[in-house]
Amino acid sequence: MNLGAELFGVGSGGEKYLYHYTSVEKLRGILDSGTLRFSPYLNTNDPLESHFWVTWTRIPGGTDDEIAARREEMKTLLGENFDLRRAVKIACFTQDDSEVNLSMLHRGWARPRMWDQYAEKHAGGCLVLDRAAWEQEIESSLASRGMRVTGQAVAYRNARFGGELDNITLDYEDVKSRGGIGVAQAFVNDHQELFFTKNLDWVSERERRYLVLSDSDYEAVPLASSLRAVVIGPFFPDHEDSVLRFRLDRSGFHHVRVAKLAWRSGAPFTGAGDNRELQLFQPENLRPRADPQRIEDERGGRERLG
């Protein structure tokens, strides 16, 4: 099977490809920089991940002045408005569904709700990455700097982590010994299920995520060896469409395929050639022919367009 058919045909890529939906502006930044960023966990739209977690502190006893001094020292060590999750950065993707569907809705680039929610109401784009190459890029750019990256598929179940989330305690001696990042790393290691579990409401996203702890606001990973294609939505702006190939070539992505998504009767189409620029199926190309063949239904005398 050629690469174009593998990327955009009916056959499922299994776990070979990762798909990342994004807005026009962010797509522009990704292509110009040639990198994809790990973003703050606290910026996600899942209340489990971004809303308040109860956090307690444990400070050794002593005089009032000693306790007050330790409390201030702890604030200094942790920084202003410390949150265990602040150091957590994630990169999120969807994957192909293992159950092949002739409509191609099993493909990671063909998720209408994700196009609406994450790709600017069908006006943004979807990056297609080779998973093995992406994970090698992570190894080269992050793990080589001593950063531990965890990647796995998200599990879905309706669960309340009240016992774990209502009793998070920051110990003075622990913070003094490990520092904020160290304490956060220990918490992530001990409660990894929290970071890779979502409620069933999210199950259609088939998410695979990668997690790293960092003092920086973002961590960027090059896409030079992993980016395989860019799928743009049907409402992708014309002025951006006209320079998309230029952006890709300027950043060294000469090999990356481009496809523009169109929908017909609820099914997605992109074309599936192996040329560098795929033959695109635009809505005007999908209308019935001017003089369509009419086929009579033998049972009811109904007519349908051929």
User: What are the tokens at 273?
Assistant: 């050639």
pLDDT at 152: 95
Residue 306 has pLDDT above 60, yes or no: no
Please state, in angstroms and rounded to a whole number, the distance separating the CA atoms of residues 23 and 91: 15
Residue 279 has pLDDT above 50, yes or no: no
Return phi, psi of residue 259, to 5°.
-140, 140
Average pLDDT across the chain, whole number: 82
Q: What is the pLDDT of residues 205-229, one digit of tens each?
A: 999 999 999 888 999 999 999 999 9
pTM > 0.75:
yes
pLDDT at 285: 36
pLDDT category, 130, cuts 50, 70, 90?
Answer: very high
For residue 189, the enclosing domain spans 3-305
Q: What is the pLDDT of residues 36-70, one digit of tens each?
A: 999 999 899 898 888 877 677 788 888 888 888 88
Q: Could you give the C-alpha distances from 117 to 14, 73, 217, in angstroms and in order? A: 24, 43, 24
pLDDT category, 243, cuts 50, 70, 90?
Answer: very high
Q: What is the pLDDT of residues 101-126, one digit of tens each?
A: 777 888 999 999 999 999 999 999 99
Picking from 75-84, 178-187, 194-203, 248-257, which range would have the lowest pLDDT averaged per residue?
75-84
Residue 25 has pLDDT above 90, yes or no: yes
pLDDT at 271: 52
Q: Report the domain count for the chain.
A: 1
Average pLDDT over residues 181-190: 83
